[in-house]
């Protein structure tokens, strides 16, 4: 049985201590075991249990959150993630999420996530600076980054063109990335027309700050819902029913229900 690592003395607000060879060895061992656990044919429950045990081993050192980020930064040359093959880097990137969570948490603090993205995605994500500015504009709105959001940012960085020309809003992107694309296009003066095409309406400087508040459920309505809405809107309504429509929330499922009720009356 591997002996439990000795906790490192930590003080709030004090940077992580110098990295010892023992800590480097522990980190390497945990990453190798993580790779085995996530690539094996074991059940989801078994993999989840192994991951929890690995997180516990690492957190027993007293390192988590920003202090874990500091340790990674100190080990940049030793780990050399810039030179990793793609498949290895994907595993390492996903591993980092678990490595830098606060103890007993399922997410990253947004500040920790931003520091990590700047650390591991520099040179791999051309929109990284704009993405980090976008996150800074969400101060007070976005507090944490989930594992699903963390993973999709890497997928986005590898598959979506720098000019966003191949971004498909109807794909299963998390709402955070939908809102980021809206942010970039708005800052560049690109607006989507009703037909879904894009037109260039001006060339705003890329560094112009634009405050966009993300909204829940930012995924676009399905074509079926749009078709039903258009049919209902074409129905003749009384004055009182028309007022009811104008005060209803467009795009919401409750809105369609209200219109259906008004039309039936």
Please name each of the domains of the chain with its CATH number: 21-162 (1.10.238.200), 223-264 (no CATH)
First to last CA, the chain: 73
82-139 tens-digit pLDDT: 999 999 999 999 999 999 998 888 999 999 999 999 999 999 999 999 999 999 998 7
Q: What integer pLDDT is reported at residue 139 of this predicted model?
A: 78
Residues comprising the chain, all counted: 265
pLDDT, position 260: 42
pLDDT tens readout for residues 167-218: 999 999 999 999 999 999 998 875 544 334 433 333 333 333 333 333 333 4
- Categorize the per-residue pLDDT at 47 as very low, low, confident or very high, splitting at 50, 70 and 90: confident
Q: What is the mean pLDDT of residues 147-167?
A: 96
CB-based contact 178:218 (threshold 8 Å) = yes
Residue labelled with tokens 């996150």: 135
Those residues with Cβ within 8 angstroms of residue 233's Cβ, 6 or more apart along the chain or in another chain: 245, 259
> Is 140:165 a contact under the CB 8 Å cutoff?
no
């Amino acid at each position: 049985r591997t002996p439990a690592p000795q906790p490192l003395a930590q003080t709030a607000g004090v940077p992580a201590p110098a990295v010892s060879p023992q800590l480097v060895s522990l980190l390497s061992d945990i990453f190798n075991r993580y790779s085995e656990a996530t690539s094996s044919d074991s059940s989801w429950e078994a993999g989840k249990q192994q991951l929890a045990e690995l997180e516990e081993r690492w957190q027993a050192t007293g390192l988590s959150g920003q202090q874990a980020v500091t340790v990674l930064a100190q080990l940049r040359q030793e780990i050399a993630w810039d030179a990793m093959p793609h498949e290895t880097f994907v595993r390492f990137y996903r591993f980092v999420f678990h490595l830098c969570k606060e103890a007993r948490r399922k997410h990253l603090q947004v500040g920790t996530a931003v520091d990590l993205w700047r650390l591991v995605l520099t040179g791999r994500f051309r929109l990284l600076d704009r993405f980090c500015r976008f996150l800074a504009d969400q101060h007070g709105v976005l507090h944490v980054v989930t594992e699903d959001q963390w993973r999709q940012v890497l997928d986005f960085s590898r598959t979506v063109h720098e000019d966003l020309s191949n971004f498909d809003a109807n794909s299963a992107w998390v709402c955070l990335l939908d809102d980021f694309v809206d942010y970039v296009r708005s800052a560049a003066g690109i607006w989507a027309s009703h037909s879904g095409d894009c037109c260039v309406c001006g060339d705003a400087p890329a560094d112009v700050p634009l405050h966009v508040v993300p909204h829940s459920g930012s995924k676009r309505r399905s074509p079926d819902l749009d078709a039903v809405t258009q049919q209902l809107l074409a129905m003749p309504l009384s004055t009182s029913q028309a007022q009811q429509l104008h005060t209803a929330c467009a795009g919401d499922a409750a809105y369609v229900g209200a219109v259906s009720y008004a039309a039936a009356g």
